[in-house]
Structure 1
Amino acid sequence: MPNANEETSALSQAQDRAVSELLRVAPVADDLARRFEEAGFSLALVGGSVRDALLGRLGNDLDFTTDARPQDVLKIIRPWADAVWDVGIAFGTVGAQKEARVGDTDRNFQIEVTTYRSEAYDRTSRKPEVSYGDSIEEDLVRRDFTVNAMAVALPEKRFIDPHGGRADLAARVLRTPGTPEESFSDDPLRMMRAARFAAQLDFEVAPEVVTAMKEMAGRIEIVSAERVRDELNKLILSAHPRKGLSLLVDTGIAEYVLPELPALHLERDEHHRHKDVYDHTLIVVEQAMALEEDGPDLTLRLAALLHDIGKPRTRRFEKDGRVSFHHHEMVGAKMTKKRMTALKYSNELVKDVSRLVELHLRFHGYGTGSGRTPRSAAMSVTPDRFSAGSTS
């Protein structure tokens, strides 16, 4: 863990980066803030945008929060933006697109403005109940993690950090603004978001957060399959998916959202005649990532993650002492289709990933002739990686 001097230095550097990033997007952010101010409302950059500014990686997606109600936001933003959408207005969010000149470049900014709010699940509903708040402090305390519970009031660029988010960002740790139990009760998906942010940012998760995830793992069942799927995708497509997947397994959450993964922890036979299939699977995911040429490939990574899920059901101890997994690729393809369908993946993606799982033991170059398999270009070397060290 960093010492106090290191954290102070990191905080100072983060502050400098944030100021630089905020100045970069000032033309669009300040212009919008002035319009809210003229209408009698406040506006602040918030959440992931502030976190990314502190990390020096603020992009063109900007998140704002305001005391204005959604209909007031629409009145302010429609004459200003190039395009406006209100699909999230039931949750207090108005989206917009705005082209602005930054330096010598025209940039297209994707903007979301959300009214101060609080939301919570009850024990039977799959959808959060939304109520609007009157202060930014009330809004920030309901956010998932302290590193996402910071704001910058505009146009004066005043930092608002009531929960120590900048210190946690410097320490690279994920904590919740209130107790993790309260946070996860409000929205159980935040448990998966902890794993996702650990994978995206390469952060550690605070011990009390991990404990709450273990104790409340079953609460994830109240969340819709679509939200679970979207969060899982972000984790899988992150820079460090192994870290996030391991956290889901270690806390027991994977038992509810992807039970086929912890099931790969096969009990070793006394002579250790087969490898740890779970560890092998995580290695294969990393090997698949190394094959990507055009950025993260969801089809490839899902196939790598699921390629051996048929092994627990097909494991046999032969008379000669060998361990076999005959036809695990066929069983695994059926299991893949069932799991991905339950998670509401598209029919096309289910078909592609299932096909790759089914073919993962085929020889190098399979699919280079007629009837090419999905993603065959990427997978032409992947089967050997997938099956390396396997006993079919």
Structure 2
Amino acid sequence: MKQHLQHPVFSVISKLAAEKNVQAYAIGGYVRDIFLNRPSKDIDVVVLGNGIEFAEAVAAHLNVKVSVFKNFGTAMLRYQDVEVEFVGARKESYRSHSRKPIVENGTLEDDQKRRDFTINALAISLHPGNYGELIDPFEGITDLNNKLIRTPLNPVETFSDDPLRMMRAIRFASQLRFRIDDEAVAAIKSNLQRIKIVSQERITDELNKIILSPLPSVG
């Protein structure tokens, strides 16, 4: 995987991870798109520790500005042609009336479990000790090869916690021409009414992405 980490921002993250004895991982869509041969300029980095503090250290090293979003526990910087968002590894729990999670510090595994789909739970280590190692606990690579949309946890739980994920599943199926796992399809049907707790703005955003996909009728 090391050949896919040639952008200079990765070497800076790796250097600071070693200096601060922090584990940091590229995770999510950037990693997924490596295997789909899709160019991506958005990099998500999960840190075992304080993601905001680590982002501020990276920004200081690169001499760039960092935007901090304390309510979400995230920070973002732009360097050359990429946008990098940092977050501390976390686990989430939900209340029935809201898709906004209660957040606690967690492990990498906790963070991967909270991801929407197995193909978005892939992580690559950026620490020099195991730089470039792929961490794939939910067989996301297999699902990519099989063109399958599947959730890391029980799909009923995944979609009930955050009903927007139902539309995201359909959107990814439409964009990538993937098939949604049968259990996930059943879970979408059983959770249809839960979409009411999602804002119209977020629903419209996903619907627009479906309409703009290569074959909208799939969605």
TM-score normalized by the length of structure 2: 0.91
Higher RCO by CA contacts (8 Å cutoff, separation 6 or greater): 2
Residue 93 of structure 1 aligns with an amino acid whose one-letter code is T
* Between structures 1 and 2, the one with greater strand share: 2
What is the CA distance between 1:53 and its match in structure 2?
0.8
Give the SS at the match of 1:198.
Answer: helix
User: Please, what is the CA RMSD of the aligned residues?
Assistant: 1.7
Residue 52 (structure 2) pairs with residue 79 (structure 1) = no
User: 1:174 aligns to what?
Assistant: 149
Cα distance in structure 2, aligned partners of 1:89 and 1:197: 29
Cα distance in structure 1, aligned partners of 2:104 and 2:122: 18
Deviations 1:246-298 (A, max 9, x none): xxxxxxxxxxxxxxxxxxxxxxxxxxxxxxxxxxxxxxxxxxxxxxxxxxxxx
**CA contact 1:67–1:115 (8 Å) conserved in 2:** yes
Deviations 1:184-217 (A, max 9, x none): 1221110000001011111000111000000111
User: 1:113 aligns to what?
Assistant: 86
Residue 132 (structure 2) pairs with residue 157 (structure 1) = yes
Cα distance in structure 1, aligned partners of 2:102 and 2:89: 10
What is the CA distance between 1:19 and its match in structure 2?
5.0
Greater Rg by CA = 1
User: 1:97 aligns to what?
Assistant: 78
Residue 65 of structure 2 aligns with an amino acid whose one-letter code is A
The alpha-carbon distance between structure 1 residues 112 and 71, as it changes in their structure 2 partners (threshold 3 A), is closer
The alpha-carbon distance between structure 1 residues 58 and 136, as it changes in their structure 2 partners (threshold 3 A), is farther
Cα distance in structure 2, aligned partners of 1:210 and 1:19: 36
TM-score normalized by the length of structure 1: 0.52
Q: Which runs of 5+ in 1 are unaligned?
A: 1-17, 100-107, 245-392
Give the SS at the match of 2:40.
Answer: coil
Sequence identity, in percent? Answer: 38
Residue 140 of structure 1 aligns with an amino acid whose one-letter code is Q
**CA contact 2:12–2:58 (8 Å) conserved in 1:** no
Deviations 1:23-47 (A, max 9, x none): 433x221221221331221110101
User: 1:194 aligns to what?
Assistant: 169
Residue 85 of structure 1 aligns with an amino acid whose one-letter code is S
The structure 1 residue matched to 2:200, chosen from 205, 222, 225, is 225
Deviations 1:358-392 (A, max 9, x none): xxxxxxxxxxxxxxxxxxxxxxxxxxxxxxxxxxx
Give the SS at the match of 2:31.
Answer: helix
**CA contact 2:25–2:46 (8 Å) conserved in 1:** yes
User: 2:16 aligns to what?
Assistant: 35
Deviations 1:142-168 (A, max 9, x none): 100100111001141111000000000
Cα distance in structure 1, aligned partners of 2:61 and 2:207: 35
Deviations 1:28-86 (A, max 9, x none): 21221221331221110101111001112242211111112244234313303423112
Q: Which runs of 5+ in 2 are unaligned?
A: none
